[in-house]
Each structure stands twice: as C-alpha cells, then as structure tokens.
Amino acid sequence: MELKLSREQALVQKMVRDFTENEVKPIAADTDLNTEYPAENIEKLFRYGVMGMVVPKEYGGAGADDLAAALAVEELSKQCASTGDIVATHNGLCCGPIINFGTEEQKQKYLRMLTEGHKVGAFCLTEPNAGSDASKGTTTAVLDGDHYVLNGAKIFITNGYVADVFVVFAMTDPSKGTKGISAFIVESSFPGFSVGKHEVKMGLHGSPTAEIVFTDCIVPKENLLGVEGKGFNIAMNTLDGGRIGIAAQALGIAEGAMAEAMDFTKSRIQFGRPISKFQNTQFKFADMYVGIEAGRLLIYKAALTKMSGARFTLEAACAKLHCSELAMKTTTDCVQMLGGYGYTKDYPVERMMRDAKITQIYEGTSEIQRVVISGNILR
C-alpha cells in the first residue's frame, strides 16, 4: 500500500489545514455556543472547491479523490467537527450517490447545483422506526403519470434545514422488502416538501439536523436515482463511502483534542513540574498516538480500496469503528487531563468530547459496524 500522499492530496491537506487555522478555529467555540450554522465558512468552502470536491470536473467539481476528501474532513474536524460533518455529508452522502448512480442529465443538473450553484446536499434514510434497521422505513413513493408522490417523514437529517438537494429513500413496493426501496433526488422547492422539527443536540451544534416531511410531495419521474427497487443497495453503498468520512471526522476530533491536551500539560505545573512530565500523562499520550496512527492507516486503506474500484464495505466499517471509539476515548481522556479546566468552556476539549459521541452513533452505530465486520470476516 502506497502511503505517500500524491501532490494533489498533499495540496488539499495543506489548503484545508490553513483554512481551518485561519477561518474555522476562531469561530468554532461560538458556533457551538450559539448553535450557529457556519454559513460564511461553508460559502468559502464552496468557493475553494471543498464542498463538492469529489464531483468530476465535467460536472463542476474539483475531481478530487476519496483520500483527498477524507483528508479535508479530518483537517476541518480538528477544530470544528460540525464543519467537517456538513462537508462530509454534502460530499459523501449527496454528491456521492448522484456521481455513482445518476443519469447524465441528473449529473449535469444536480452536481452543478451542488458545486457551482453553492446548493447544500443531504441524505434522507432514517425514520422514527427505522434507524439501525434501515430497510424498515415506511415512507412511500407511488408513481402517478409523469411523477412520483412521496409521503412520510425522515428524521435526524444532517444539513436538514439548510439543504436544497436531498437523496431520499422510499418504498415503491412495500411487499418486496429491501427490493421494494427506491432512491430519489428531491429538491426542497418541490410541492409537498417541508422541514419539520429542528433537533437540539448534545454536540455538533453547528451542524443543522432536522426532520424532513413529505406530504403528497411531487417528484418528477426523471428524479428516480438508479433503478426502481435498487434503493437499498444505493443507500448501503453510499453509507460505505460516508463511513470513511465519519472515520476522518472522528480522527480529526481525536487529533484536535490531543493537541490541546499536549499544550495544556506542558504548561500546567502541579507538584513542582509540568504534568506532562508524569508518566501517567506520557503513557496516555503514547496510547492516543498509536490509536490515531492506526486510525489513519485504516482510513487510508478504506479510501484506497474504494478508489481501486473494489468493494470496501469491510474496510470502511473497520475505519469508522476504530476512529469513532478512539475519538470518544481520546476526548474523554483529554478532558480528564485538563481537570476542572477541561470541564469548562474556556477550553475546547469538552466540546470535542460532546462532538465525538455522535461519531459512535450516526452513519451506522459502533454495534452496526461490528455486525458488518463480523458478517464480512465470518462469511
């Protein structure tokens, strides 16, 4: 496995690292405190080609590869996991399936909207009674002449109340189970589309999460994504890609927290010396470092496997499981290292700890990743 970044990947990494230091870090605490969508930064990320970076150049994107996309999310998430999440969802869960399964017309129209048009994308799979058991959704899509009529509601939709373009999964034939699910591209301007409850969350306050409601929502027939009845496969394939993005987000959170804790422990004097001089602190950093480096390798492997065109379900699940568990443990340990200071909003580690939690839950819980991993290795 080639571990050296290509010139393009290294350029993306540096560009997003600089952007994060200069534009993301200064507002990260307020974004969290005020539950504020970082609109100006997302607009800049469109202009810099990061939003929609995976879209091929012929459809308005930067034509970046999957590893570059993961590097971008990692860098942003070192300072603001919300910004990393908005970008990962837009690129992986909305642009991704349109790139992979869209018709030429759909690509020309929607990928351009999601890049040059600066329209934000989202992905609607989860329902109140269909979370981990994703195929049990009850949203329906009934063909009526030249359009489908969608009815139902989706919850926990990232980018929900700011997005314009949604990849939506609905039952076209409930009698067929997973083979009765189809995917659609839905615009927020379509009749019968509405945004429901805005979620108030433990963390990731800058990332807008909402319920999306379809009430006799009219979706043109040509907005069917892929083949009717193949929607579940599209959802699963898309989530495989999305899980690399969440692994990168989690890795970035862990790295950000560790950097904060290293700074703090070098200058915090207790018992006559910096607490970084105590072996307890040093061993904790050693373990964090190994976990982070292992996570990086798992992400690289998953991204490179995806780029090779081979199935990467197992690799993506391994990366997501390891990195999200790592992020939770690392941020918890970092709060502990900062002691009382770590529990206050004067330092970012408590925010990072709250943000880390969701990485163990969304785009497939840690338990679902273990289902996927064990299913693959025991096959």
Contacting residues toward ligand CAA, per CB under 6 A: 89, 123, 125-126, 132, 134-135, 156-158, 178, 232-233, 236-237, 239-240, 313, 362-364, 368, 371-372
Nearer to ligand CAA, 139 or 313 (CB): 313
Q: Cβ of residue 153: shortest distance to ligand CAA, in angstroms?
A: 13
> Backbone phi, then psi, for 188, in 5-degree steps?
-65, -15
Cβ neighbours of residue 54 under 8 Å, at least 6 residues apart?
61, 62, 63, 64, 65, 66, 69, 91, 92, 95, 96, 99
Compare residues 3 and 310 and give the one whose CB is closer to ligand CAA: 310
The CB-of-163 to ligand CAA minimum distance in angstroms stands at 10
Q: Rounded to whole angstroms, how far apart are CA atoms 364 and 350? A: 24
CB of 368 to ligand CAA, least distance (A): 5
What would the two tokens of residue 322 be? 């390891």
**At 283, which amino acid appears?**
F
**CA atoms lying within 13 Å on the CB side of residue 278:** 14
Length of the chain, please?
A: 379
**Number of Cβ within a 10 Å radius of residue 152:** 20
Q: State the nearest-atom distance from the C-beta of 65 to ligand CAA, in Å.
A: 20
Residue ranges of alpha helices (H) inside the chain are 7-19, 25-33, 39-47, 66-79, 81-88, 96-101, 104-106, 112-113, 231-267, 279-308, 313-342, 349-359, 366-377
Listed in sequence order, the residues at least 6 apart from 117 whose beta carbon sits closer than 8 Å to its beta carbon are: none
Q: Where in the sequence numbering do the catalytic residues fall? A: 363
What is the token pair recorded at 104? 């030429």
Shortest CB 317 distance to ligand CAA, Å? 9
The answer to whether residues 198 and 208 touch, using CB atoms and an 8 Å cutoff, is yes
Identify which of residues 108 and 178 has a Cβ nearer to ligand CAA in the complex: 178
**H-helix or E-strand spanning residue 122:** strand 121-124
Q: Which residues, 6 or more positions from 177, have their beta carbon under 8 angstroms from its beta carbon?
A: 135
Q: How far is the CB of 167 from ligand CAA (least distance, A)?
A: 10
If the CB atoms of residues 63 and 196 are measured against ligand CAA, the closer one turns out to be: 196
Nearer to ligand CAA, 13 or 89 (CB): 89
Using the minimum distance from each CB to ligand CAA, give the nearer residue, 333 or 355.
355
